[in-house]
Amino acid sequence: MRRLVALALLLSACGGQSGEYAQQSQIPPEAIQSGYTFLQPETQALQDDDFANPGFLWVDKGETLFNQIPETGAPACASCHAADNRPLSGVAAHYPVMDEETGKLMNIEARINACRERHQDLAPLDHESDALLGLTAYVASLARGVPISVNIDGPARNYYEAGKDYFFLRKGQFNLACSQCHNDNWGKKLRGDTISQGHGNAFPAYRMEWQTFGSLHRRLRDCDSGIRAEPLDYGSATYMAVELYLAKRAEGLAMESPGVRR
């Protein structure tokens, strides 16, 4: 505990600013690297193994659900999104997007639940349920290898700014901003780990810490808990905004979901 507090103090001192926000640092575009780079070779090999990567248990589940006609007889996802009609290959690399119907930002999970309500007359799936994680993983897997690029023009701009704001906001008992680890100190050691740049391109991902598969929002909740700040709700507008900011910040990085992380 003492060591962690000392670390927090050290990191806040490195921030060089005593205000509410950390300094507006940036990773040079040519230095942007996936969290994959910072993993042990065995963990990288697990992600790269299309059989042994446990994330594929969820991708398989999602693919089954995607093609299955729901019990109510409503059309399956695949009835609208066939290979030759509104195909979903690559689209996850461009999420989150603005939802024209509600004027709100939505990620893949929110899009899936909106589709269920609007086109399938089904109840939304619970956050972190196998079904929602599976469908999200399946859709994200269709964008594997596609470089991330998102639109932050127009009404999305406000979300982008809000996400950026959260990223640089110092918070929690450790008074740390996301940027202080992931912009200012990536590549350095923090106990046994090498600090990553904090990109979301592997998510939803299998985390060994969780011993299961989880969403980017679950990861963000862990980051917030880690700095002893209050985690926000799954699907909250702020986490959606952070997701957009992270995607813009990671632009050009290839999608890796289903990723494997420590």
Burial class (CB in 10 A: 0-12, 13-18, 19+), 254: middle
Secondary element (H or E) of residue 10:
helix 2-15
User: Does residue number 209 form part of the binding site for another protein (CB under 8 A)?
Assistant: yes
Burial class (CB in 10 A: 0-12, 13-18, 19+), 163: buried
User: Does residue number 84 form part of the binding site for another protein (CB under 8 A)?
Assistant: no
Active-site position among 7, 32, 223, 254: 223
- Which residue intervals of 75-107 are DSSP H helices? 77-80
User: Does residue number 228 form part of the binding site for another protein (CB under 8 A)?
Assistant: yes
Closest to 242 in 3D by CA, of 163, 171, 149, 162? 163
- 95-to-82, 200, 212, 243, 244 alpha-carbon distances in Å: 20, 11, 23, 9, 7
User: Does residue number 193 form part of the binding site for another protein (CB under 8 A)?
Assistant: yes
Q: What's the min distance (Å) between Cβ of 215 and another protein?
A: 15
182 is in an annotated binding site: yes
Residue 133, number of CB atoms within 10 A of its CB: 26
- Identify whether the C-beta of residue 63 lies closer than 8 Å to the C-beta of residue 57: no
Per CB under 8 A, which of residues 29..48 are in contact with another protein?
39-43, 46
> Judged by CB under 8 A, which stretch of 13-21, 86-94, 185-193, 245-253 contacts another protein?
185-193
Quick check: is 223 catalytic? yes
Q: Exactly one of 8, 12, 47, 61 binds another protein (CB under 8 A); which one? A: 61
CA 35 to chain centre: 12
Per CB under 8 A, which of residues 90..149 are in contact with another protein?
130
The footprint of another protein on this chain (CB under 8 A) covers a number of residues equal to: 36
118 is in an annotated binding site: no
Q: Exactly one of 57, 78, 114, 169 binds another protein (CB under 8 A); which one? A: 57
Interface residue list for another protein (CB under 8 A): 1, 4, 39-43, 46, 51-52, 54, 56-58, 60-61, 130, 173, 190-193, 195, 208-212, 222-223, 225-228, 231, 262
Residues tagged active-site? 223
* Residues tagged in the binding site annotation for heme c: 77, 80-81, 115, 178, 181-182, 223
